[in-house]
Chain A
């Protein structure tokens, strides 16, 4: 069992659980303690809260407005509960019938620089122009 520090915060069933102050209600798989405590599996309850939805949205680089966060929080609880049925699936051998489909890397006709840039909102000196890296 990995010791849990006072600052380790877990979210379970919409309640923020702080170890040491509240009894654990969820089974913990000890190997999965990560830098992002909100992502620890909570086997007994799939509900997510608004903070988790906002965090996932941040990871996926999608801004959400408040009403979207609210709706998604409710819907994700329901959808993840349905996904829970996958727990019953037995471990199954996956026959991989793999063939190498790589070809030699040869120069051939391709898009011109102009064609490649034609849909870019912004370009400069024949290159895509992206936002600042800061």
Chain B
């Protein structure tokens, strides 16, 4: 079993019988509800919280015969890029000693990279599946918004997040996506892919056939990226080209503002979503005192520093006098990003960039500098703003042997396209 601190708990949940995932272990991120098994979101606030119901994706895993070997460690409530903000300790990168595994689904990527689980589920609000997949040298898919049910996922920023698979290969990730995808009457934001010109045959799409594939490369997402990352990125594009794909550069001027827009929207939604944690229905009790004192005490003790930072900044961005300046402008930026992606994808099958502009950071160096950590999400956050699907596949390593991920973005419900393209590399 892993010694990377990748699991918060290792209670085994057995699947039912003979489904397509029988004999397969699928670890589950600890912000996804598991009936009768503790679900903490990496927070002291929810220590000892035991959900009375399963998330829809967990029911589907069980029905498919999968065994859940444990709940994986994560940045507190999904807020982080390094899996160092967990109340249960930081996770180490099993393939790059001394470096972070990426976040916030760092535990899920680490158990897959270390071979402790066959596959895992993560959640991606601004890159939280793709970043750890890239940093740990595995595959991660952030589905189109609405492809996978969020019922039972503890909300951080609900207009942005999706649950998705992390696996050693694109084919495995596609197979897991096939099991969890599909409409759910308990999540009104889910959509049926069959009403959007496609179907759920994701695993069959992993045939590696990129002959004739057109790839758009947004130059903005290469500017400012680490040199060794850019070099590895072009090697992967060369590889796809040698297999019959072609590429051209595209301009996405809006993405220059995406990371700021993402953080304003995500923090604003977080300030509202996390208002439920007041120590009355669940969570750490705030003890004696009046209503407000008790809530403020519960939240002081239960939340870690990054969560407090985001809830406060979100409260600020939504407050009287600042709403138009921050939140409304961020929504304009979101609409602009969507338009830009739609236009670029009219002339290309997929858009490609490095998943992360930097190789895995050294452990401990990000915590005191939140802004620098936020800016590392420059390439992943635009995709959540645009509600699009994206995959991160291993592109190679830097000169120092650190994993680099290639991100491929497709049109809405274009999962089969990005799976096919990604499977030519992994």
Contacts and interface: CB of A to CB of B under 8 A. Distances in A.
A87 B257 CA distance: 10
A92 B188 contact: no
B339 A79 contact: no
Given A79-B370, A91-B332, A92-B339, A62 B185 contact: no
Contact of B333 (A71, A89, A101): A89
Contact of B50 (A61, A87, A102, A119): A119
A87 B324 CA distance: 10
Contact of B271 (A32, A60, A90): A60
A75 B309 contact: yes
B299 A62 contact: yes
Interface stretch (B54-62, B94-102, B148-156, B273-281): B273-281
Interface stretch (B9-17, B160-168, B169-177, B258-266): B258-266
Interface string A51-81: 0010011111111110010011001101110
Interface of B: 48-50, 52-53, 185, 188-189, 254, 256-257, 260-261, 263-264, 271, 275, 278-286, 288-297, 299-300, 303, 305, 308-309, 311-313, 315-317, 319-322, 325-326, 329-336, 339, 370-371, 374-375
Report the contact-size class of chain A (Cβ under 8 Å from the partner). 35 or more
B294 A128 contact: no
Given A88-B257, A92-B335, A133-B290, 20 more contacts: A36-B321, A39-B321, A56-B315, A57-B308, A59-B319, A72-B308, A72-B309, A82-B371, A86-B261, A86-B333, A87-B325, A92-B336, A92-B339, A93-B335, A122-B280, A122-B285, A131-B280, A131-B289, A131-B294, A132-B290
B308 A128 contact: no
Interface of A: 32, 34, 36, 39-41, 48, 53, 56-65, 68, 71-72, 75-76, 78-80, 82-83, 85-95, 101-103, 111, 115-116, 118-122, 128-134
Contacts of A119: 48-50, 52, 281-283
B424 to A, nearest CB: 33
A61 B299 contact: yes
A59 B334 CA distance: 27
A78 B371 contact: yes
B370 A75 contact: yes
Nearest to A43: B325
B264 A86 contact: yes
Nearest to B290: A134
Given A61-B296, A89-B329, A118-B50, A79 B320 contact: no
Contacts of B374: 79, 82
A91 B294 CA distance: 42
A19 to B, nearest CB: 16
5 contacts: A32-B320, A63-B296, A78-B371, A119-B50, A120-B280
Instruction: Give the 4 A-B CB pairs with smallest separation, nearest first.
Output: A121-B285, A131-B294, A63-B300, A115-B52
